[in-house]
Amino acid sequence: MSVPAGAFGLSRASSGEGALPHRPGAAWWRAPVDHLPGVGPATAERAGAIGIGTIGDLAEHLPSRYLSYDSARPIGGLSEGEEATLRVTLDSISVVPTRRRGLRIVRAKVHDDSGTISAVWFNQAYLAGVLEPGDEMMIRGKVSLRPQRQVTVKAHEVLGGGASEGLHTEGLVPVYPATEALPARRLREMVDAARPLMPAAPEILPSWVRARLALPTRADALAAMHFPRTAREPRSGRRRLAFEELLVLQLGLIAVRRHEEVARRALPLAPTGEVIDLVRAGLPFTLTAEQERVARQVSRDIRRERPMRRLLQGEVGAGKTVVAALACAQAVEAGAQAAILVPTETLAEQHLRTLDALLAPAGIAPVLITGNVPRAERDRREMAVATGTAQVVVGTQALLVGDVRFQRLGLVVVDEQHRFGVEQRQALAERVGSGADAAHLLYMTATPIPRTLALTAYGDLRVSAIRGRPPGRQDIATRWVHEEEREDAYEQVRAELRRGRQAYVICPMVEAGEEGIGARSAVEEARRLAEGPFRDFRVGLAHGAQKPDERRAAMAAFAAGDTDLLVATTVVEVGIDVPNATVMVIEDADRFGLAQLHQLRGRVGRGEHPGMCLVFAEPAAEDGVRRLEALVQTNDGFRLADIDLDIRGEGSIMGLRQSGPTDLRFARLSRDRRSLAEARRIAKVALERDPRLEMPEHVLLGQAVRAAFPDMPRLLDA
């Protein structure tokens, strides 16, 4: 691989092997890492395996933390339970077999001037073949002194000695995400070799932005991360990189929204009151203030010609459906059709019943279109949709994939939108139309996300929320039950059943051995409970591997009160509403996400009796413990979402976005809330000054935005 010689400050040939230019040009940034002195093809290949191809990639491979060996502690002065860094010499090392299958421990004897201690590694047997007696090394880990003096190693580093040793031991030493083949030490040497090239880092932030927020240049920020002189430097460097990343994202998201707004026209759905008033008059309850507020927002949005793109958040039971029904009513009275899209057949059927009841007073009969509807009947219904006789349509993705034609589609409501895959959402976006015949779009989700995340994941949408649950909802008391209290908990459940209430038992798997060993399966659990602890009660079973008819029958029997206890997988997460069910037992709760656990327990406490949720779990990891503690402590889904963000980071949630990058490299939303707000503000200012980002100082920024949103090539052209 060669790089055009003229592109560098100096040509490679004339500068001699390994020499780097004095004033590096931008081409260096894109040069492969084996152009660095001391980096050969083998190392380049290992670097490639972790996504480092170019010198720029290497420079952006940031340390995950720093070690300061000035703070190395003497072995003689350690105390129980502390985490400490030690500088030691290795005396002996061996692999120790354990009784636990699959677990191997490496144990080493190490010493310094003040004493000796054992160092222990879990599941890194290869170390016994790599480390040798006499090795000088730094280790960091947790100290315990009884029953024996031992440090459980979290990180270690062999000190090589020699001229460049200072790189690995002096001052703040960066620790890079590394692999066995490419250890942190080697990465540190590579980054050091690239040091003279840092000034080649392309600067995409215009100087007015840097000045306003007092941010360092990109080159300085990277240098601060890799070669910090003080503990503050990496922080300011990282802040700059995170800000830049968030700015690019916000620019893109705002541009997406603008693009949609100018490029698309929807039917303006002006309310006349004809239908809405009848629907409102027929409601069996009055709307809460929150529902009224959101209903007003939606009503205002959809009377415009500009297509609505709104996300409505509200936990399970918050009362989103009636808001959707009112919007449908407005569409109908404006002479248009409305479609409600849901992720599962069960939910579609449930929605049909609910909407049927809500819209009946206005004489509207919603139509169901799912894969389950027999072909002939489906043809008939699709015809009704095409001719406009069907005014409100409820359906699954069958509504998207087939060639269902609407006569005059004005509004699409997507319920439980987080359960749709990316492809389905894209199909939807295409389906609801481009150009002149776009539809208004209302996304609803029961998995609330923190506002910071909403801005990032859904920056192209407007967001509303219904907080809290409607009046009349019962509290749900949640208890985390340990194995030894199982009998006791079952007695609590039986007591409820004897009072005539019903209970769910949720298992993470359908059948045993499906994934991992030990998790309870619905099929076996149903048998066990029916023959054992609940032999005096009627036990039902519902799971996703059943035939739809069988599953429906099981759910219907439970809804009708013909079974007392329903053992199920998460198929009941949505789409079942049994007011008489007051107990939710969740097995292996640590296998579910926090949002899902919260959704599950929302299935009880829906009637006149308070709900009870018993979660069984023995989480192996700290995160699991924190999640369960949070679940027990609060019933507020928005609060839980915040906690979840702190525990998990945003990684998996970012995939919710419809366009643009799906993850963040530098920013962490739980930590960079302020940068996010700043980025949003700056993005608006920049786009106001220069809507296409074409002024010289914005050109590179514009390129970065386009690169981040490759599926929207004309993003900034509007």
- Residue with smaller CB distance to ligand ADP, 288 or 337: 288
CB of 470 to ligand ADP, least distance (A): 4
Using rule CB under 6 A, residue 605 touches ligand ADP: no
Residues in the chain: 718
> Exposure string (b/e) for 145-177, b if CB count within 10 Å is 16 or more?
eeeeebbbbeebbbbeeeeeeebbbeebbbbbe
Alpha carbon distance 138, 526 (integer Å): 53
Nearest to 587 by CA among 477, 645, 475, 503: 503
DSSP string spanning 523-559?
HHHHHHHHHTTTTTS-EEEE-TTS-HHHHHHHHHHHH
**Mask of contacts with ligand ADP, 341-370, x by CB under 6 A?**
------------------------------
CB of 595 to ligand ADP, least distance (A): 13
Task: Please identify, using beta-carbon distances, which residue of 236 and 580 lies nearer to ligand ADP.
Answer: 580
Decide if residue 322 touches ligand ADP (CB under 6 A): yes
Give the helix/strand (H/E) hosting 312: strand 309-314
Identity at 709, one-letter amino acid code: F
Residues 513 to 532 in contact with ligand ADP, rule: CB under 6 A: none
Site string for ligand ADP, 615-654 (x = CB under 6 A): ----------------------------------------
Distance of closest approach, residue 642 Cβ to ligand ADP, in angstroms: 20
Cβ proximity to ligand ADP: between 53 and 470 the closer is: 470
Instruction: State yes or no: residue 281 binds ligand ADP (CB under 6 A).
Output: no
| Tokens found for residue 186 | 């080697």
Q: Which of 280-288, 300-308, 361-369, 516-524 is the region at the interface with ligand ADP (rule: CB under 6 A)? A: 280-288
**CA distances, 476 to each of 33, 429, 595 (Å):** 57, 38, 15
Among 285, 300, 655, 663, binds ligand ADP (CB under 6 A): 285
Closer to ligand ADP by Cβ: residue 169 or 502: 502
CA distance 716 to 718: 6
Q: Name the minimum Å distance from CB 551 to ligand ADP.
A: 20
Strand locations in 135-290 (E): 136-144, 150-159, 172-175
Stretch that binds ligand ADP, among 149-157, 261-269, 318-326, 492-500 (CB under 6 A): 318-326
Residue 314 binds ligand ADP, judged by CB under 6 A: yes
User: Measured between alpha carbons, how far is 333 from 269 in angstroms, rounded to an integer?
Assistant: 8
Shortest CB 51 distance to ligand ADP, Å: 41
List the interface residues with ligand ADP, window 441-460 (CB under 6 A).
Answer: 446
Find the binder of ligand ADP among 291, 337, 370, 445 (CB under 6 A).
291
Q: Does 326 bind ligand ADP (CB under 6 A)?
A: no
Q: Residue 245: enclosing H or E segment and its boundaries?
A: helix 232-263
Distance (Å) of CA 590 to CA 249, 508, 628, 646: 33, 10, 7, 17
Cβ nearer to ligand ADP, comparing 261 with 577 = 577
198, with CB counted inside 10 A (0-12, 13-18, 19+), is buried
CB of 456 to ligand ADP, least distance (A): 24
- For ligand ADP, the binding residues in 229-248 under the rule CB under 6 A are none
What single-letter DSSP state applies at residue 617? -
Among residues 127, 128, 287, 632, the one that binds ligand ADP under rule CB under 6 A: 287
- Supply the DSSP symbol for 607: S
Compare residues 438 and 578 and give the one whose CB is closer to ligand ADP: 578
Q: Does 328 bind ligand ADP (CB under 6 A)?
A: no
Where helices occur in 135-215 by DSSP H, the ranges are: 166-169, 184-193, 207-213
Interface pattern 402-441 for ligand ADP (x via CB under 6 A): ----------------------------------------
The DSSP secondary-structure symbol of 570 reads G
Amino acid at 558: F
Alpha-carbon span 55 to 33, nearest angstrom: 5
- CB 579 within 8 Å of CB 607: yes
Least gap, CB of 322 to ligand ADP (angstroms)? 5
Alpha-carbon gap, residue 696 to 634, rounded angstroms: 51
Give min distance, CB of 397 to ligand ADP, in A: 19
Q: Does 325 bind ligand ADP (CB under 6 A)?
A: no
Among 24, 56, 196, 317, binds ligand ADP (CB under 6 A): 317
Q: Which is nearer to ligand ADP, 367 or 446 (CB)?
A: 446
Of 288, 346, 370, 658, the one binding ligand ADP (CB under 6 A) is 288
- H or E element, residue 426: helix 422-431
Applying CB under 6 A, does 388 fall inside the site for ligand ADP? no
Q: How far is the CB of 402 from ligand ADP (least distance, A)?
A: 26
* Sites for ligand ADP among residues 465-494 (CB under 6 A): 470-472
Q: Which C-beta is closer to ligand ADP: that of 173 or that of 324? A: 324
In 546-698, beta strands by DSSP E:
565-568, 581-586, 611-616
CB of 578 to ligand ADP, least distance (A): 11
In angstroms, the CA 504 to CA 567 distance is: 6
Query: Does residue 16 touch ligand ADP according to CB under 6 A?
Result: no
**Quick one: which segment of 34-42, 297-305, 315-323, 423-431 binds ligand ADP (CB under 6 A)?**
315-323
Radius of gyration (Cα) for the chain, nearest Å?
30
Residue matched to tokens 């940031």: 62
DSSP output for 211-231: HHHTPPPHHHHHHHHHS-SSS
For residue 420, the minimal CB distance to ligand ADP (Å) is 16
Closer of 199 and 448 to ligand ADP (Cβ) = 448
Q: How many residues bind ligand ADP (CB under 6 A)?
A: 16
CB of 317 to ligand ADP, least distance (A): 5
Where does this chain touch ligand ADP (CB under 6 A) — which range of 10-18, 464-472, 555-563, 683-691? 464-472
User: What are the backbone dihedrals phi and psi of residue 354, each rounded to the nearest 5 degrees, phi first?
Assistant: -60, -50
Sites of contact with ligand ADP (CB under 6 A): 285, 287-288, 291, 314, 316-322, 446, 470-472
